[in-house]
Amino acid sequence: MFNRIKGVFSGYADEALHISTGAIEWEIFVPIRDPSFYTHTGEEIELFTWLHHYEDAMRLYGFFSAVERQLFLDLQKVEGIGPRQAFKILQGIAPRSLATMLDRGDLASLQKIPGIGPKTAQKMMLALKGKLITPEEASAAISNSQGRFRDVIRALVEMGFERKEVERVTAQLASSLEDGPEAEKELFKRALLELSAGAGA
């Protein structure tokens, strides 16, 4: 429903930032890791958002990059991790650091992150190891894949897959794909396979 909100950081309460956009002030829960951020009231900021509708209430989460938002969603694919725990995890560690720990199989460091115990760390390792990319890699890969393989992305979106998920998957796959006349066809085949598997999970 809401993809991105740009407005003025007008205040905060507990874990939520107040963002003013014209006559509306939004309450958005944002994982802040640097307390000095709160001194920047009155400045314009932009957040990538995700709305959680639960029971009889709603909560709007915000992130400073689309990559961080995607990591928030990826964490919820791990058994036992919901939006609130995923939020707590991102309050305790930057996306790049988390991806590095998972790639290295560093269970000990994972367990030091608030909200992650031994069992959760093992589940995260099984579900996410090797599947996350850093913000820098994602930015370059998405830009590259959108330019080179825009027809693949368009075709997959027209088949009914969500654009954000299509862009994420094609970015990851394109980064390991060799250039050649069959690259576009191979990317489409691999992306369709992964997206279909995810849709059926």
Higher-pLDDT residue of 65 and 135 is 65
- Classify 146 as helix, strand or coil: helix
pLDDT tens column, 33-47: 888 889 899 999 999
Residue 109 C-alpha from the chain's centroid? 21
How far apart are alpha carbons 127 and 174 in whole angstroms?
21
Single-letter amino acid, residue 35: P
Predicted confidence at residue 43, as pLDDT, reads 93
The reported pTM is 0.66
pLDDT tens column, 62-89: 998 878 888 899 999 999 899 999 999 9
Rounded to the nearest 5°, which phi and psi values hold at 120? Answer: -65, -40
Token pair 């367990």 is at which residue? 111
Contact 136, 94 (CB under 8 A): no
DSSP 117: -
Flag whether pLDDT at 137 surpasses 70: no
